[in-house]
Structure 1
Amino acid sequence: MTVARSLLLFALAALAEIGGAWLVWQGVREHRGIAWIGAGVVALGLYGFVATLQPDAHFGRILAAYGGVFVAGSLLWGMALDGYRPDRYDVIGALVCLAGVAVIMYAPRT
């Protein structure tokens, strides 16, 4: 259950951080206004909180692994909301990052 919980928390963290960054981007770059920026800032704060709920106690490990989730999640977000189509190198890079997440977070340790 710990791996499932960890994966769920990574997904929630990705939603909060990528969504927050996207909202700020929309507010500033697409001129949607301060409400979009404020919502983004709140979402980014929620990301920081969600990351603390990971079962592993090591900050560096959690943030390093989350980096891989962020890479893959950002490409998915771009596809879903901005019409971005990743090329094969984007996909390969994201898969490499997710493999790194698996090694960092879920490799057996003694």
Structure 2
Amino acid sequence: MVYAIYIVAALGEIAGCFAFWAWLRLGKSALWLVPGMMSLAIFAWALTLVPSDAAGRVYAAYGGIYIAASILWLWLAENRMPDRWDLSGAAVCLAGTAIILLGPRG
């Protein structure tokens, strides 16, 4: 369930940031900012759903999911094939996420 929340957060953040990218870098209409800001609000809300007593731990674990989702975005939305370095880096980050999320805590 936690990974599903992180995936929703990552999609919200990436879509929201891409809306700003499209407006500023690709010359799209400023109207792109409306769904972009809504997406960023979904991102922030989703992170509050992660069951944890420490926001910093939630954000740290989310980082790996965000990186992997960004590589997926690169491939699916921007039609650019990730290279072995992209994939290796994402795998390392996901391993870090798993350690943070699944590590035993007393």
TM-score norm. by structure 2 comes to 0.94
Amino acid at match of 1:107: G
1:82 is the counterpart of 2:78: yes
- In structure 2, the residue matched to 1:36 is 32
Of 7, 11, 19, which residue of structure 2 is paired with 1:15? 11
Query: For residues 80 and 52 of structure 2, what CA distance do their matches in structure 1 show?
Result: 34
Aligned residues: 106
What RMSD over aligned residues (CA atoms) do the two structures have, in Å? Answer: 1.0
1:62 is the counterpart of 2:23: no
Spell out, residue by residue over 1:90-110, the C-alpha distance to the aligned partner (whole angstroms, 9 max, x if none).
111000000000000111222
User: Mind listing any 5+ residue stretches in structure 1 that lack a counterpart?
Assistant: none
Query: For residues 96 and 76 of structure 1, what CA distance do their matches in structure 2 show?
Result: 15
The list of structure 1 runs, each at least 4 consecutive aligned residues, that deviate by more than 3 angstroms after superposition, is: none
Identity of aligned residues (%): 38
Query: For residues 53 and 24 of structure 2, what CA distance do their matches in structure 1 show?
Result: 36
Query: For residues 83 and 70 of structure 2, what CA distance do their matches in structure 1 show?
Result: 14
Q: CA deviation at 1:26?
A: 1.0
TM-score norm. by structure 1 comes to 0.91
Q: CA deviation at 1:42?
A: 1.6
Query: For residues 57 and 80 of structure 1, what CA distance do their matches in structure 2 show?
Result: 34
Query: For residues 43 and 103 of structure 1, what CA distance do their matches in structure 2 show?
Result: 28
Q: Give the 3-state SS of the residue equivalent to 2:27 in structure 1.
A: coil
Query: For residues 35 and 78 of structure 1, what CA distance do their matches in structure 2 show?
Result: 23
Of 76, 84, 100, which residue of structure 1 is paired with 2:96? 100
- The more displaced of 93-102 and 83-92 is 83-92
